[in-house]
Amino acid sequence: MPQYDVYGLGNALVDIECEVTPEILQELGIEKGVMTLLDEDSQNKIVQNLDGNTFKQACGGSAANTVIAVKQFGGNAFYSCKVADDETGQFYAQDLKDCGVDTNLDSHPLEEGISGKCLVFITPDADRTMNTFLG
């Protein structure tokens, strides 16, 4: 069994990043600089209203971000989480693997349900506004 410098346990969230203006946030009724928890339908409606915008995806969540940073700095990291057997969950598992982080997702089947996503809106002043569905 490998030795790890860091073992992380956390909520698996796929970060979906989109650059927007403060005016777009205002049109969507989203308060700038705040993290808001949403249900899946509300999150999907926001994405539909942003049709035509460019989105960038990456595995996220505080613990995942930490173990990825440890790996990038040369450490050995393991991350334990749960994702659903859906496109988002499969992306999350593959992205962690691509980052070189060992996970429990190889040895445990994906769960039923829906994987979590965080819409991350980035304004020109580099402020982040998050609308999160935990899954």
CATH topology for the 6-133 domain: UDP-N-acetylmuramoyl-L-alanine:D-glutamate ligase (3.40.1190)
pLDDT of residue 54: 82
Find out whether 21 and 125 touch, Cβ atoms under 8 Å: no
**In this predicted structure, what is the pLDDT of residue 74?**
96
What is the rounded distance in angstroms from the CA atom of residue 33 to the CA atom of residue 22? 10
d(CA 84, CA 134): 11
The pTM of the full predicted model, rounded to 2 decimals, is 0.86
CA dist 104 and 78 (Å) reads 8
Read off the DSSP letter of residue 86.
S
- Return the number of other C-beta atoms located less than 10 Å from residue 14's C-beta: 23
**Predicted pLDDT at 101:** 95
Q: Note the pLDDT of residue 112.
A: 80
Question: Mean pLDDT in the chain?
Answer: 92
The reported pLDDT for the residue numbered 52 is 74
Per residue in 82-93, pLDDT tens?
999 899 999 999
pLDDT of amino acid 2:
76
Domain boundary assignment for the chain: 6-133
Strand order in the sheet with 35-37: 35-37, 128-133, 116-122, 13-19, 56-60
Segments of the chain with pLDDT less than 50: none
- The first and second tokens of residue 95, run together, are 């992205």
